[in-house]
Amino acid sequence: MQPFAIIRPKRVDQARELVVGKPELRVFRAGGVDLFDRMKEGIEDPELLVELRDALTAGVELTKDQPLVPVDTNPLPPAPRYVSAGALTTLAQLAAAALPGVDALHQAAGQAATPGIRNTATLGGNLLQRPRCWYFRNRELVCLKKGGDTCLAITGDSRYHAILGGGPSFIVHPSSLATALLALDAVASVFVGDEQASPQPVLPLHELFVGPEQDPTREHKLAPGDLLTRVWIPVLDDMRSAYQAVREKRSHDWPLVEAAARLRLDQGGSMRDVRVALGHVAPIPWNASQAAALLEGQTPSAKLFAQAADAALADAAALEGNAYKIPMAKGLLRQVLHRASGLALPE
């Protein structure tokens, strides 16, 4: 790691200004967990860290309010209430919040990384962290993400790589919160203008992330200097959700696969407003819309869940070393659907 300076602007527009000027040498620091790892690994050597502690907020609450949005953007999905969390809210705070309907978020935040990291890592930093791929993180290798001409997972060891939506890069998106928030139909507020007064846009989570066909060198849409300020989750009446991951280790480890689901049970016991997401299977948090479509309006059953899991993985294509992720993702998704719907898991 090379020496650097650190600055702590008071306002979000000042923060943006500092980075926009020299995007190669200046970078935001929230919790710094991912950023310092990149610096220690020698894949980035920024000169100035722009600390967000005073410019953004932490804290999570249940509210009826919605943010002001510019006239030409879509507002939040309609809901009686929203969970609203500032970008600096830590994973530990998200895990402990105990808010209705958003168990998937509590569980994703509570199982990520380690207690120490969860006390430091933030919502914004978690969503915008860079991939953990062992080719990308090796300073001596030039992979597609770092301007090389091919994804090294194709000829290399791909046990932790993508089975869905891969190509030309086969990384998996690292964020557990993204998996949960995608299932929860969340929306992010971003700060892209320098005028603080005018309404800033919101982005549905699936629009925040950029797949490798679009641009393999990045994972999200924000330009250098743009900030993620807040996340909104619509809380529908009788909403339920669940999240689960498979890891080789019980702590201090990344998921091999993760799954999250959100739904409502109507009075007849049918599932409504179903959303299903998978994580660590694709370069972006993966929206398993075929599975959701299959479940919509149906009553929960083990058989149906197995069908939905098959549908979610129907397009999966394994590389040399990651075929195991297909049955694993199916098994995991079945469990998550049981838990989200309340249908008891078989022994």
Partner 1 sequence: MPGKTKLSVGYGPNIKTINVELPPSEPRPWDTVDDMTVVGTPQPRIDGPLKVSGEARYTHDIALEGLLHAAVLRSPWPCAKVSRIDVGPAAKQAGVGAAIALVGVGDKLIFAGQDVAAVAATRPELARAALASIIVEYEPQPFVVQTRDAMRDGSPQVHEAAVEERRTGADEPGAERAQGKLSGNVRPGRSQKRGDAKRALNKAPVRFEATYTTQCHTHSCLETHGVVVRWNGKKAATVWASTQSIFGVRDEFAALFGLEPSKVQVITNFMGGGFGSKFGANASGTALAKIAGDLARAADKPVKLMLDRAEEHVCTGNRPDSIQLVKLGATNKGKLTAIHVQAHGTAGIGTGAGVGRNAASVYTKVPDVLVESADVFTHAGPAVAFRAPGHTQGAFAMESAIDELARQLGMDPIDLRLAHDAHPVRRWQLELGRERFNWDARRKAAADMRARNTRVRKGVGCAVSIWGDFGGTEARVTIEIGRDGRVVVKNGVQDIGGGIGTVMAQVAAEVLHRPVEEIEIQIGDSKLGPGVGSGGSKTTSSITPAVRNAAELAKAELAELAQTALEVNSTKNLRWTAEGVSVGRQTLSWADLCKRIEGEAIVAVGFRARNSAAHPRSFPGFETPEIAGAQFAEVEIDTWTGEVRCTQVLALHDCGRVMNELTLRSQINGGIILGTGYALMEERVMDPSLGVMLNANLEQYKACGVKDVPEISIVLTEVISGNNSTGAYGIGEPATIPTAAAIANAVGDALGVHVRSLPITPAKILDALEQQQRASQGGTK
Ligand X SMILES: Cc1cc2nc3c(=O)[nH]c(=O)nc-3n(C[C@H](O)[C@H](O)[C@H](O)COP(=O)(O)OP(=O)(O)OC[C@H]3O[C@@H](n4cnc5c(N)ncnc54)[C@H](O)[C@@H]3O)c2cc1C
* Contact set with partner 1 (CB under 8 A): 1-3, 132, 134-135, 138, 140-141, 152, 155-157, 159-160, 246-254, 256-257, 324, 327-328, 330-332, 334-335, 345-347
Pick between residue 34 and residue 103 the one whose CB is nearest to ligand X. 34
What's the closest the beta carbon of residue 251 comes to partner 1, in angstroms? 4
What's the closest the beta carbon of residue 48 comes to ligand X, in angstroms? 12
What's the closest the beta carbon of residue 109 comes to ligand X, in angstroms? 8
Pick between residue 51 and residue 310 the one whose CB is nearest to ligand X. 51
Residue 140 binds which one of ligand X, partner 1, none, with CB within 5 to 8 A depending on kind? partner 1
Taking alpha carbons only, the member of 5, 2, 1, 117 closest to residue 50 is 5
CA distance 267 to 237: 12
What residue type is 343 in one-letter code?
Answer: L
Task: Find the binder of ligand X among 16, 29, 330, 338 (CB under 6 A).
Answer: 29
What's the closest the beta carbon of residue 90 comes to ligand X, in angstroms? 8
In the DSSP assignment, the letter for residue 9 is -
Q: For residues 158-177, which are near ligand X according to CB under 6 A?
A: 174-177
Residue 34 binds which one of ligand X, partner 1, none, with CB within 5 to 8 A depending on kind? ligand X
Q: Does 60 bind ligand X (CB under 6 A)?
A: no
Q: Does 312 bind ligand X (CB under 6 A)?
A: no
What's the closest the beta carbon of residue 88 comes to partner 1, in angstroms? 25
Task: Find the binder of ligand X among 79, 85, 87, 340 (CB under 6 A).
Answer: 87
CA distance 285 to 308: 18
CA distance 110 to 17: 34
Pick between residue 231 and residue 336 the one whose CB is nearest to partner 1. 336
Residue 156 binds which one of partner 1, ligand X, none, with CB within 5 to 8 A depending on kind? partner 1
Number of residues in contact with ligand X under rule CB under 6 A:
33
CA distance 99 to 105: 10
What's the closest the beta carbon of residue 75 comes to partner 1, in angstroms? 38
Spacing of C-alpha 160 from chain mean position:
17
For residue 220, the SS3 value is strand
Q: Please, which residues have CB within 8 angstroms of residue 21's CB and are 6 or more apart in sequence?
A: none
Partner residues linked to 85 by β-bridges: 60, 231
Q: Please, which residues have CB within 8 angstroms of residue 125's CB and are 6 or more apart in sequence?
A: 30, 31, 32, 33, 34, 35
Residue 231 binds which one of partner 1, ligand X, none, with CB within 5 to 8 A depending on kind? none
Angle value at C-alpha 207, between 119 and 66, nearest 5 degrees: 70
For residue 24, the SS3 value is coil
Residue 11: other Cβ atoms inside 10 A: 12
Q: Does 126 bind ligand X (CB under 6 A)?
A: yes
- Structure tokens that stand for 54 in this block: 């005073």
Asked if residues 296 and 286 have their Cβ atoms less than 8 Å apart, the reply is no
What residue type is 149 in one-letter code?
Answer: D
Task: Find the binder of ligand X among 85, 113, 205, 208 (CB under 6 A).
Answer: 113
What's the closest the beta carbon of residue 72 comes to ligand X, in angstroms? 23
Q: Does 219 bind ligand X (CB under 6 A)?
A: no
Pick between residue 25 and residue 68 the one whose CB is nearest to partner 1. 25
Distances (CA, A) of 333 to 259, 290, 309: 6, 13, 6
Asked if residues 287 and 165 have their Cβ atoms less than 8 Å apart, the reply is no
User: What phi and psi values does residue 205 have, to the nearest 5 degrees?
Assistant: -55, -40
What's the closest the beta carbon of residue 50 comes to ligand X, in angstroms? 8
| Sites of contact with ligand X (CB under 6 A) | 27-35, 52, 56, 87, 112-113, 117, 120-122, 124-126, 128-129, 174-177, 222, 227-228, 252, 254-255
